[in-house]
Chain A
Amino acid sequence: GAVVSQHPSWVICKSGTSVKIECRSLDFQATTMFWYRQFPKQSLMLMATSNEGSKATYEQGVEKDKFLINHASLTLSTLTVTSAHPEDSSFYICSARAGSQQETQYFGPGTRLLVL
């Protein structure tokens, strides 16, 4: 299947700082990318849907000013957690869709964020 990478895989930061996570589709162009968050023993919760060249669509309850999403190219989307707090500590995972079918949604390996 297609490959999606995320960087960094692990990040520890101090409370109040901002953290940027990159999501890249390595061997295909993705017009749509998704950002999820997963708390321990819970499901992957969709945070936002990002379409290349347009503003992201955020799910209810997700603060768009806190979780900044940029999808500037067909192979790169970034998620910036601004002014991170300990409650933002979580596993952030992105996916990129290569086609119109749901099966073509490929997931990155995830980024574990720990805010001290």
Chain B
Amino acid sequence: DQQVKQNSPSLSVQEGRISILNCDYTNSMFDYFLWYKKYPAEGPTFLISISSIKDKNEDGRFTVFLNKSAKHLSLHIVPSQPGDSAVYFCAASGRGAQKLVFGQGTRLTINP
């Protein structure tokens, strides 16, 4: 049972435009959400997070939105840059839980 889902395996965006990556979850006990970025042959690196008490968190070009009622979160990257091309994973954890549950990842390609 996939508790965290990223339904788009890939996304292609023009440089300078906005990239929107989506993630859905099913477990209502999740209360903390994170986005990771992964380049080939490297481990995921932390990008941005959001707690369930918020609906938006912004860090430079990256903004994460959380819609608890819809159990949906999204990552916005604006403006998109070629270096943003990577696989993006969303992950979730429950209150007090050590472990993270990951989505399948979305491969983002930024075209010049």
Contact = CB atoms under 8 A, between A and B. Distances in A.
Interface in A14-57: 32, 34, 36, 41-46, 49
B44 A49 contact: no
17 contacts: A1-B45, A41-B104, A42-B104, A44-B44, A44-B89, A44-B102, A46-B100, A93-B43, A95-B43, A102-B91, A103-B46, A105-B100, A106-B43, A106-B46, A107-B43, A107-B44, A109-B43
Interface string B75-112: 00000000000000101010000111111110000000
Contact of A107 (B32, B45, B105): B45
A45 B104 CA distance: 9
Interface of A: 1, 4, 6, 9, 32, 34, 36, 41-46, 49, 93, 95, 97, 102-103, 105-110
Contacts, number: 58
A109 B41 contact: yes
A108 to B, nearest CB: 5
Instruction: Report whether over half of chain A's contact residues are helix, strand or loop; otherwise say mixed.
Output: strand
B32 A102 contact: yes
Contacts of A44: 44, 89, 102
Nearest to B42: A109
Contacts of B42: 109-110
Nearest to B39: A109
